Amino acid sequence: MVAAASVVVAVGTVTGMVSALDDGRGADEAKPEVTSSPRLEQLPVLPSPSVTATKSVSPTPSSSKKVSPSLTRTEKKRQPATVSARLYRHPDSQVLDWVRSHPGDPRTPVIESRIADQPAAVWFADYTPATIASRVRAVTSGAAAQGRVPVVVPYAIPDRDCGGASEGGAPDLSAYDAWIENFAAGLGSGEVVVVLEPDSIAQSDCLSEGGRADRFASLARAGRVLKAVNPKARVYYDAGHSGWNTPGKQAALLKQAGAASAASSDGIFSNVSNFHTTADEIAYDRQVLAALGGPPGLGAVIDTSRNGNGAPADGEWCDPAGRRIGRTPTLGTGEARIDAYLWVKLPGESDGCKGSPGTFTPSYAYDLAR
């Protein structure tokens, strides 16, 4: 059984580095009580961008209706967008809330320097079509003002997580298509990385054949809309991770969802909320890209937020012990076809075992950081 990449609290909060919610942050704002004050030992240095790291897991939602996009751009006219080397750290997140509220906790310096100070993805997991454009715009405009590149995660596909812990999303594909159009309206005109619907492709086996086809058509349209509205947007599609589907199987699914088309895709993402080593993910992603085909400019981004020690041998996915943070987020990996190492999942936000799903757990964050 593969664990969901991102546990979403029932009210619509998420487990990404930051959640950009409509009104109030609900469970995302919960600050678990500090129950112990461990003595700070001599700690290892942070992983450098040149060190080989580890890998991660993901599963997701589904849907029911087909959409026919009306965009007319041809693939030959599309050119890969150039991405700068600087990622954006949104000034609002659960870990930052905790750090600000606990200046005297012995764990705070480690959690702040190794987790809170790092740039991370901003998740949009609640279906709020009336406000989604303005909330996305708040993130992208903040990044543009600093000359940095934001990472945003639309996570509202219908039948999300196949009814599991992260269930939710738009009521149907027609509603989702409209939501994505509003989401795109907030992207602005600057550089932005879009991690499009974690688990939506790798975890689509709970859908009927027709349901998968409809979902994939909607995802293909979503990519075209996002890139048409902002040609500098880089859109990546769900490739699961190296411990899930075979590269050939995953590539076949990705192709159906439009990931091989330059009009809708810049490539794939893997390891969201999982623990597989960076080396394994690099090898896997390159195999998926080779099987996928498409323009040579397609690349991959890898979630390295919790993969510093690799995946547990027993396959445990829920806040497993002995894990650590992985490579620092960067858009300069030095690896062919690997466009970025990102922190898509917030280190310290629980999968549901060390704390309530989607809430920041300082003891878990400290264990990962040290």
Please identify every residue annotated as catalytic. 161, 199, 351
* CA atoms of 50 and 275, how far apart (whole Å): 18
DSSP state of 36: -
Query: Which residue has tokens 């650590």?
Result: 324
Q: Tell me which H or E stretch contains 234.
A: strand 233-238
Structure tokens at 274: 């999982």
* CA atoms of 323 and 326, how far apart (whole Å): 9
* 368 contacts: CB under 8 Å, gap ≥ 6: 115, 306, 308, 323, 324, 325, 347, 348
The answer to whether 286 and 326 are in contact (CB under 8 A) is: no
Instruction: Give the DSSP letter string of 325-336.
Output: --SPPBS---ST
The answer to whether 61 and 160 are in contact (CB under 8 A) is: yes
The answer to whether 218 and 237 are in contact (CB under 8 A) is: no
Q: Which burial class, exposed, middle or buried, applies to 113 when counting CB atoms under 10 A from its CB (0-12, 13-18, 19+)?
A: middle
DSSP state of 114: I
Structure tokens at 74: 């041809």
DSSP state of 181: H
